[in-house]
Amino acid sequence: MLETRLDTGERRVYGPEHNAFRESVRKLFDRELIPNLDRFEEEGLVSRDFWRACGDNGLLCPTVPEEYGGLGLDFGYNAVVNEELAYAGSSAGITLQSDIVADYILSYGSEEQKQKYLPKMISGELITAIAMTEPGAGSDLQGVRTTAKRDGNHYVISGSKTYITNGQNADLIIVVAKTDPDKGAKGTSLILVEAGTEGFARGRNLDKIGQNSADTSELFFEDVRVPMTNCLGEENKGFIYLMSQLPQERLGIAISAQAGAQRAFDEAVKFVKERKAFGKTVFDFQNTKFQLATMKTELQVGWAQIDWGLKRLLEGKLTAAEASAAKLWHTEMQGRVVDEALQLHGGAGYMNEYPIARMWRDARVQRIYGGTSEIMREVISRTI
């Protein structure tokens, strides 16, 4: 069990049902996640037992309607899971499944695809990934080189992907591929590929700076044949679909960044109040108090922004620029807070036995995936 809890007492974006759900999330994490955090880090992925436990307790894809086995709830429940997962210090890929992949299938999938995949995603039996990034195409999705060529009533997929979250565990992958390379971005489609399909192969579990328990892989597609019915939505509409889903994805990252920053601050406060130096606690030094005051101020502003953004999303009003601004500000703020929290730990902060070390490592990629800070500024600037 965590020694500290995320304080949500003064927030108004959540109702009593959300708060009750949060308690069930905490109980599950205390039982299934916290005792296994170190093991997941060492093994480089989160066990399927944890996925199934999340499914059994209603944590996976809570927004999916009841007709597909879901709870039919609002995104606020996803946000609760995001906050508690980040505060726990875990990089498990369950949020990718719930916040991103489930919505792609729900929004663009055929009835057959929804019936086939969503119930197993909700139960945790099926783990999913979305394969966008390539060795030569990161933020620039128009530069995707993976192709899906028609051959009768099949697509033949060829190409490679990298930095794919859930790559080692994934049973189903949404592959971003060019179905009409001559059309550039307008020739992009989303194709469903099951892991056992001939020609599909996983590369190594990539060796990262942080987020070690988030399995992140190379994926290879060598003349992978799938039925044309595996196209998610309409052919050549993939780029539009990707752009439509980005606001929710980016707000989700902002939420995780905010909760991660809060945990780092709480760890720093705890440490400096216990640590003695020159006959008094480190907390008693004016510099420590001023640094903590600055961090607390940023966190206060951050929570107000998160709740505003979440309310906008629930009302269907959150714009791409607003979500980009949230991701930009919160991930950059997380970087500042986590770094300062480590500094306040002194030499202990550089030791892996202290949680702050993992938080510092894990936070760095937040400014990169889901759209780099530079891309966020580009998106925002277009609205000025």
Query: Is residue 378 annotated as a catalytic residue, yes or no?
Result: no
CB 202 within 8 A of CB 218: yes
Report CA dihedral (11, 100, 313, 383) to the nearest 10 degrees: 120
* Cα Rg of the chain (Å, integer): 21
CB 124 within 8 A of CB 159: no
Query: What is the DSSP secondary structure assignment for residue 29, as one 8-state letter?
Result: I
Report the C-alpha gap between 33 and 378 in whole angstroms: 37
Catalytic residue among 32, 41, 249, 298: 249
Residue whose C-alpha is closest to residue 166's, from 127, 197, 201: 127
Q: How many CB atoms lie within 10 A of CB 14?
A: 18
CB 128 within 8 A of CB 170: yes
Beta bridge partners of 164: 217
Report the C-alpha gap between 305 and 330 in whole angstroms: 9
Query: What is the DSSP secondary structure assignment for residue 234, as one 8-state letter?
Result: S
Report the C-alpha gap between 338 and 257 in whole angstroms: 10
152: tokens are: 């009768």
By annotation, the residues acting in catalysis are: 249
